[in-house]
Amino acid sequence: MHGTRFDRLLAGTALALILAGTPLAYAQPANAPSDDAAISAAVPVPEPADVPPPTVADIGLPSAEAAPAKVETAAPAAPEPATTPPAAAAEIAKPAPEVAQPAPEIAVPASPAPVTAAPAAPPVSAPATAAAPAATPVQPTATAVAPTAEPTTAAIPALPPAPTVDRQVADSLRAAFAKAGKRDKALESFYATRDFAPVWVVDGAASARTKAASAYLAKADADGLDPADYVFAEIKAGADPATLAETELKIATTLISYARHATNGRVHYTRVSADVFYPPHDFDPAQALAKIAGAADVAAALDGFNPQQPGYKALKAKLAEVRGKGEEPEPVRVPSGPTLRLAKDKAGSFMQDARVPLLRQRLGIAGDAANTSYDEALADAVRIFQRQNGLTPDGLLGNRTVEVLNGGKKRDRAEDVILANMERWRWLPQDLGKSYVMLNIPDFTLRVVNNGKPVWTTRVVVGKPGTPTPILTETMKYITVNPTWNVPPSIIYNEYLPALQQDPTVLDRMGLKLTQNRDGSVHISQPPGERNALGRIRFNFPNKFLVYQHDTPDKHLFAKDVRAYSHGCMRVQDPAKYAEVLLGLALPGEGYTADRITKMYGSGERDIRLPTPIPVHITYQTAFVDEAGKLQLRNDIYGRDSRVLAALKGADRRIAETPVERPQQSYARPPVRLPERFAAGGYNNGGGFFERLFGGWQQNEPPAPVRNNRRTYSR
């Protein structure tokens, strides 16, 4: 849940519900294990480091006799225990916390200085977190992927001592780098190792390597890049050595640009959204040039800069397939009507409908044009279509299935969606890990992969369009059984203190605990238990967005086709099984099973450390190829595709690779006044508690429909 981006809404709603008699169950990160400094320092807590905890004076409660809310005095903090050695058992039991632990400080990188012009070789760097005007370019740092093998230069002959054209060009290159104000360290490093011998312009003309590279770059659109960005400078016949040296450098710069774009992406993710963060790739322009210059196969060397993941390569193949089809005729349209299902009447006849012949034609099913029976063959074809398009494969021809049938998959739409997803693949780490977790937001699924093969898949609930789940890569460090919710100071200041002033018993009735530290500060938490909003298990991969995966007491949402209901965190359908799978990979000799984990449920926190953290990749794949080799498309529920495509094709594409600063969310907010209907106890719109808490502010207002890939839902 995005820290304090939604604190006010959630806390205000929760308080109102409690004032109306509903128990609280809402999630926030718990403190990290106190006996592991490395993990504790990285545990997500939804507060910046400069928000102090509130004090007893801030609460302003009446006297103790008139204040039923229990305020407990914390005992002095125990000495920090020794770090558990790696060979020790990973499971650490903790009693339910009675004393608030200070939130660990989170180191925030300093904001890089803004740049005034697009650099020649902008890098991928982490977006700054300090407040700054949007779309301000930041100082880049060189990034991308190291070459897959040591470059070889044996194929490039040494320069002869005589004053040939190449020697004169080399002298001009050396002079150009020595000239004040025109030093490019990466290019200079590459050419210095060659005694400034030219590679791309040899004997006054394009070398064989240059011709091979030019032929490959002319087809860069096969990888979703624009060939117009990588046209080599013209080599003029009879040009003087200085001009030839300048052309040599322009060709080298073009090759660096391609290698960087293919590795890091044509668009920097900060141009798309503030809630995207991937670790930067290591990119050395000099090494990239050396790889191309020393390769026996120039085309293979250039292709090696692109992602080598099977998912990317499968999309590349589908892009070629879609483009190869050219302009397709409009598909047959099926009129809307009553839902058709596989059923027989008392006479043993299938459902009859005049649309059936059109449906057969649309799905490519042979049959008599006069036959209007919705039979087994047709129902099976509908199931296959539904499965391929992210619909529930129930074989029912309802309005949503008809809508998708009529919309079809036009070539231009499929091509654009594939291009956006290929670009996002470049943001991901090139090495996903031997074992890793990949969660696909638009598909609402989580998959655990080991040695390149999926070993377990489950359904998840992700963030609503208004509070989207961020896109990121981090590592899962430990699993918490029976987690505690520690209420952040911002919620205490803005929500709970005003409520306490009106009703000193409110925290007790909400199931929250108030403790007072010896320094006068206070801490509010929700103890572990079946009512805890985190459920019984939390999966911790500390990240800058303060989101995580967790259990939930509200299970009914997993039965829905579209599962975008949270405020950013990800709820897992079967958390005990998920823990079993992860621990089986991280601690194979410990014998963890779902049954053993559920027996750990109770009132005290237990942290199970992962000796080797497991990478967690939160992705946004609106196009992917399934295990059957079929192209799957999902709707762009957060509007990410349109932003990527706008950056790839828009007027600002020349600077699209340059990262920009994003202003940090402000934590200073005025207290929220509860709606009168909440204070009066009139809130009741049916459904489970969590559904009311997370989506029920508007029961007296018209619903806001949100388009998605399976149906239309309302908040």
DSSP strand pairing (705-706 vs 435-440): unpaired
Radius of gyration of the CA atoms of the chain, in A: 30
Work out the pLDDT band at 484, boundaries 50, 70, 90: confident
pLDDT for position 441: 97
User: Which positions ≥6 away from 591 have C-beta within 8 Å?
Assistant: none
Q: What average pLDDT does range 379-387 have in this prediction?
A: 86
User: Which positions ≥6 away from 196 have C-beta within 8 Å?
Assistant: 170, 171, 173, 174, 177
Q: What average pLDDT does range 20-32 have in this prediction?
A: 38
> What is the longest distance spanned by two Cα atoms in the chain?
101
Tell me whether residue 418 is in a domain. no
Whether 585 and 665 map to the same domain: the answer is yes
* 621 vs 39, more confident: 621
The answer, yes or no, to whether residue 327 has pLDDT greater than 80, is no
- Residue at a domain's end among 286, 321, 356: 321
What stretch of H or E contains 71?
strand 71-73
Tell me whether residue 308 is in a domain. yes
Whether 347 and 242 map to the same domain: the answer is no
Percent of residues in the chain assigned helix, strand, coil, to nearest 5:
30, 15, 55
- Residue at a domain's end among 276, 297, 321: 321
Whether 375 and 468 map to the same domain: the answer is no
Question: Could you list the residue range(s) of the whole structural domain that residue 365 is in?
Answer: 329-409
Tell me whether residue 2 is in a domain. no
* Coil, strand or helix at 56: helix
Percent of the chain with pLDDT over 90: 41
Q: What average pLDDT does range 301-319 have in this prediction?
A: 96
Tell me whether residue 452 is in a domain. yes
The answer, yes or no, to whether residue 557 has pLDDT greater than 50, is yes
Work out the pLDDT band at 4, boundaries 50, 70, 90: very low
Task: Give the alpha-carbon dihedral of 243, 245, 246, 250, to 10 degrees.
Answer: 140
Tell me whether residue 32 is in a domain. yes
Tell me whether residue 139 is in a domain. no
Whether 520 and 470 map to the same domain: the answer is yes
How far is 658 from 653, CA to CA, in rounded Å?
Answer: 10
Whether 177 and 208 map to the same domain: the answer is yes
Work out the pLDDT band at 663, boundaries 50, 70, 90: low
Q: Which CATH number is 353's domain given?
A: 1.10.101.10
* 3-class secondary structure per residue, 120-158: CCCCCCCCCCCCCCCCEEECCCCCCCCCCCCCCCCCCCC
Q: Residue 86: count other Cβ atoms within 10 Å of its Cβ.
A: 9
* Coil, strand or helix at 319: helix
113 half-sphere exposure, CB direction, 13 A CA radius = 3
Burial class (CB in 10 A: 0-12, 13-18, 19+), 358: middle
The answer, yes or no, to whether residue 151 has pLDDT greater than 60, is no
Whether 264 and 386 map to the same domain: the answer is no
Whether 209 and 339 map to the same domain: the answer is no
Work out the pLDDT band at 221, boundaries 50, 70, 90: very high
Q: For 133-145, how does the pLDDT look when each residue is reduced to its tens digit (9 = 90+)?
A: 444 444 444 444 4
Both tokens assigned to 174: 């050396």
Whether 598 and 475 map to the same domain: the answer is yes
Whether 388 and 519 map to the same domain: the answer is no
The answer, yes or no, to whether residue 71 has pLDDT greater than 50, is no
Range name among 72-81, 147-156, 328-337, 666-675 with the lowest pLDDT average = 666-675
Q: Which CATH number is 96's domain given?
A: 2.40.440.10
Q: For 488-542, how does the pLDDT look when each residue is reduced to its tens digit (9 = 90+)?
A: 665 677 777 788 888 888 888 777 888 888 887 788 887 887 776 678 899 999 9
pLDDT for position 330: 64
Query: Whats the size of the chain, residue-wise?
Result: 715
Work out the pLDDT band at 240, boundaries 50, 70, 90: very high
The answer, yes or no, to whether residue 271 has pLDDT greater than 70, is yes
Tell me whether residue 245 is in a domain. yes
The answer, yes or no, to whether residue 303 has pLDDT greater than 50, is yes
Which whole-number Å values give the CA distances from 523 to 46, 277, 559, 653, in the listed order?
A: 14, 31, 37, 49
DSSP conformational letter for 109? P
Domains contained in the chain, number: 3
Tell me whether residue 117 is in a domain. no
Whether 690 and 671 map to the same domain: the answer is yes
- Residue at a domain's end among 283, 303, 321: 321
- Answer whether 232's CB lies under 8 Å from 251's CB: yes
Q: What average pLDDT does range 60-85 have in this prediction?
A: 45
Whether 282 and 361 map to the same domain: the answer is no
The answer, yes or no, to whether residue 299 has pLDDT greater than 50, is yes
The answer, yes or no, to whether residue 392 has pLDDT greater than 70, is yes
Mean pLDDT over all residues of the chain? 75
pLDDT for position 106: 36
- Note every long-range contact of 77-86, with CB atoms under 8 Å and residues 24 or more positions apart, other chains counting: 77/101, 80/34, 80/35, 80/37, 81/34, 81/35, 82/35, 83/35, 83/36, 83/37, 83/38, 84/35, 84/36, 84/609, 86/611
Whether 436 and 522 map to the same domain: the answer is yes
Burial class (CB in 10 A: 0-12, 13-18, 19+), 370: exposed
* 535 vs 59, more confident: 535
**To which residue do tokens 């892009």 refer?**
319
What stretch of H or E contains 92?
strand 91-93
Q: For 590-649, how does the pLDDT look when each residue is reduced to its tens digit (9 = 90+)?
A: 999 999 999 999 888 899 999 999 999 999 999 999 999 999 999 899 999 989 999 998
